[in-house]
Amino acid sequence: MKYDFIIIGAGVVGASVARELMKYDVTALMIERENDVCNHASLANSAIVHSGHDPVPGSLKAKLNVEGNALYEQLEKEIEIPLLRSGAFMVAQTDEEVETLMNLRDRAKENGVPEYRLLDREEALKQEPNLHPDVKMVLDLPTTKVTYPWEVTLASAENAIDNGLDFKKATEVTGIEKTNEGFKVKTNKGDVFKSRYVINAAGGFSDKIAKMVEKTPEFEITPRRGEYFVIDRHMEGFVDHVLYPTPSSKGKGVLITPQVHGELLIGPNSEFQDDPENVDNTKAGLSFVRKESMRLAHNIPFNKVIRTFTGVRASSTHKDFYISESKEAPNFIHLGGIDSPGLTAAPAIGRYVLEEIIMKKETLLENKDFNPYRKKIHQFHDMSEKEKQEAFRFDPRYGNLICKCEKVTEPDVVHHINRSVPGDTVKGIKKRSRAGAGLCQGGYCEHNVIHLIARETGKKVTEVEYYDEHSNILKGETKVKK
Amino acid sequence: MKYDLIIIGGGAAGLAALKSAYDPNLNILLVEREKTLGGILKQCIHNGFGIHKYKEELTGPEYAVRGINDVEDLDVDVVTDTTVIDVKKENGQFSVRMTNTVDGDHEREAKAVILGSGCYERTRGAIQLPGTRPAGIMPAGSAQRYLNLEGYMVGKKVFILGSGDIGLIMARRMKLEGADVKGVAEIMPYSNGLTRNIVQCLHDFDIPLYLSHTVSDIRGKSTLEGITINEVDDEFQMIEGTEKHFDVDTLLLSVGLIPDVNMFESLTFDMSRKTNGAIVDQNYQTSVEGLFACGNALHVHDLVDFVSEESEKAGAAAKEYLLKNKRKSDKTIDLEPSNNVGYVLPQKLDMSDEFDKVEVSFRVTTRGDKGVFVVHQGEQEIMTKKARFVMPAEMEKLKIKRELIDTDEPISIRFEVKE
Ligand SMILES: Cc1cc2nc3c(=O)[nH]c(=O)nc-3n(C[C@H](O)[C@H](O)[C@H](O)COP(=O)(O)OP(=O)(O)OC[C@H]3O[C@@H](n4cnc5c(N)ncnc54)[C@H](O)[C@@H]3O)c2cc1C
Ligand SMILES: Cc1cc2nc3c(=O)[nH]c(=O)nc-3n(C[C@H](O)[C@H](O)[C@H](O)COP(=O)(O)OP(=O)(O)OC[C@H]3O[C@@H](n4cnc5c(N)ncnc54)[C@H](O)[C@@H]3O)c2cc1C
The interface predicted TM-score of the complex, written ipTM, equals: 0.92
Instruction: Inform me whether the pLDDT recorded for B128 exceeds 80.
Output: no
Q: Which residue type, as a one-letter code, is found at position A138?
A: V
**Of the candidates A405, A443, A470, which has its C-beta nearest B142's C-beta?**
A443
Structural contact between residues B8 and B306, judged by C-beta atoms closer than 8 angstroms: no
Q: Is B403 exposed, middle or buried (CB count within 10 Å of its CB: 0-12, 13-18, 19+)?
A: exposed
pLDDT recorded at residue B129: 84
Among A35, A38, A40, A156, residue to substitute to test ligand 1 (most atoms within 8 Å of Cβ): A40
Cβ of B120 within 8 Å of Cβ of A439? The answer is: yes
CA distance linking residue A388 with residue B94, whole number of Å = 22
| Same domain (yes/no): B136, B237 | yes
Which atom from ligand 2 is nearest to the alpha carbon of B301?
19
List Cβ<8 Å contacts ≥24 apart for B267-272.
B267/B86, B267/B87, B267/B88, B267/B89, B267/B291, B272/B343, B272/B347
Q: What is the DSSP letter of B205?
A: G
- Chain A residues inside the 8 Å CB shell of B100: 399-400
3-state secondary structure of B216: strand
Closest ligand to C-alpha of residue A349 is 1
Does ligand 2 lie within 6 Å of residue B168's CB atom? Answer: no
**Of the candidates A306, A409, A462, which has its C-beta nearest B125's C-beta?**
A306
| Same domain (yes/no): B148, B232 | yes
Sign for the pseudo-dihedral over CA of A346, A352, A354, A357: negative
Low-confidence ranges of chain A (pLDDT < 70): 480-482
Instruction: Inform me whether the pLDDT recorded for B126 exceeds 80.
Output: no
Does A444 lie at the interface with B, CB-CB under 8 angstroms? yes
User: If contacts are CB pairs under 8 Å, which of residues 262-291 in chain A contact chain B?
Assistant: 277, 279-283, 286
pLDDT recorded at residue A481: 55
Note the pLDDT tens digit of each residue in B44-95.
999 999 999 999 999 999 999 999 999 999 999 999 999 999 999 999 999 9
Q: What is the CATH number of the domain that holds B384?
A: 2.60.40
Pick from A61, A11, A45, A55: which is nearest to A31 by CA? A11
3-state secondary structure of B69: helix
User: How would residue B263 be classed by pLDDT, with cut points 50, 70 and 90?
Assistant: confident
Pick from B120, B115, B119: which is nearest to B294 by CA? B115
Q: B343 is in which domain, residue-wise?
A: 331-419
How many Cβ atoms are within 10 Å of A419's Cβ, its own excluded? Answer: 15
**Residue spans of beta strands (DSSP E) within B128-225:** 137-139, 152-153, 157-161, 180-186, 209-211, 213-219
- Chain B residues inside the 8 Å CB shell of A480: 151
pLDDT recorded at residue B196: 87
Q: What is the CATH number of the domain that holds B235?
A: 3.50.50.60
| Same domain (yes/no): B131, B249 | yes
Pick from B289, B294, B253: which is nearest to B275 by CA? B294
Pick from B57, B129, B122: which is nearest to B300 by CA? B122
A88-142+223-312 is a CATH 3.30.9.10 domain: yes
User: How would residue B279 be classed by pLDDT, with cut points 50, 70 and 90?
Assistant: very high
CA distance linking residue A141 with residue A318, whole number of Å = 28
CATH of A380-463, one of 3.10.20.310, 3.20.20.140, 1.25.50.10, 1.10.10.1100: 1.10.10.1100
Q: Which residue type, as a one-letter code, is found at position A237?
A: G
Q: How many domains does chain B have?
A: 3
Whole-Å CA distances, B363 to B197, B280, B370, B412: 19, 16, 15, 13
Pick from A234, A233, A235, A224: which is nearest to A297 by CA? A235
Indicate if A380-463 has the same CATH topology as A88-142+223-312: no
CA distance linking residue B14 with residue B78, whole number of Å = 11
| Same domain (yes/no): B4, B73 | yes
CA distance linking residue A313 with residue A40, whole number of Å = 9
Please say which residue of B291, B306, B328 terminates a domain: B328
Mean pLDDT in residue range B97-122: 96
**Of the candidates A281, A396, A400, which has its C-beta nearest B130's C-beta?**
A281
| Same domain (yes/no): B159, B16 | no
Closest ligand to C-alpha of residue A173 is 1
Domain residue limits, chain A:
1-83+147-221+314-376, 88-142+223-312, 380-463
Please say which residue of B254, B274, B294 terminates a domain: B254
Find the closest chain B residue to A439 by CA distance. Answer: B262
Cβ of B104 within 8 Å of Cβ of A471? The answer is: no
pLDDT recorded at residue A478: 87
Averaged confidence pLDDT in chain B: 94
CA distance linking residue A145 with residue A50, whole number of Å = 7
CATH code of the domain occupying A1-83+147-221+314-376: 3.50.50.60
pLDDT recorded at residue B190: 87
Note the pLDDT tens digit of each residue in A249-295.
877 899 999 999 999 999 999 999 999 999 988 889 999 999 999 99
User: If contacts are CB pairs under 8 Å, which of residues 287-306 in chain A contact chain B?
Assistant: 303, 305-306
Mean pLDDT in residue range B21-26: 98
Cβ of B154 within 8 Å of Cβ of A474? The answer is: yes
Structural contact between residues B317 and B290, judged by C-beta atoms closer than 8 angstroms: no
pLDDT recorded at residue A480: 66
Find the closest chain A residue to B124 by CA distance. Answer: A307
Q: Is B413 exposed, middle or buried (CB count within 10 Å of its CB: 0-12, 13-18, 19+)?
A: buried
How many Cβ atoms are within 10 Å of A329's Cβ, its own excluded? Answer: 18
| Same domain (yes/no): B265, B239 | no
Please name every residue paired with B388 in a beta bridge, in sequence order, or none if there are none.
B370
Please say which residue of B212, B233, B254 terminates a domain: B254
Dmax over CA atoms of chain A, in Å, equals: 72
pLDDT recorded at residue A454: 97
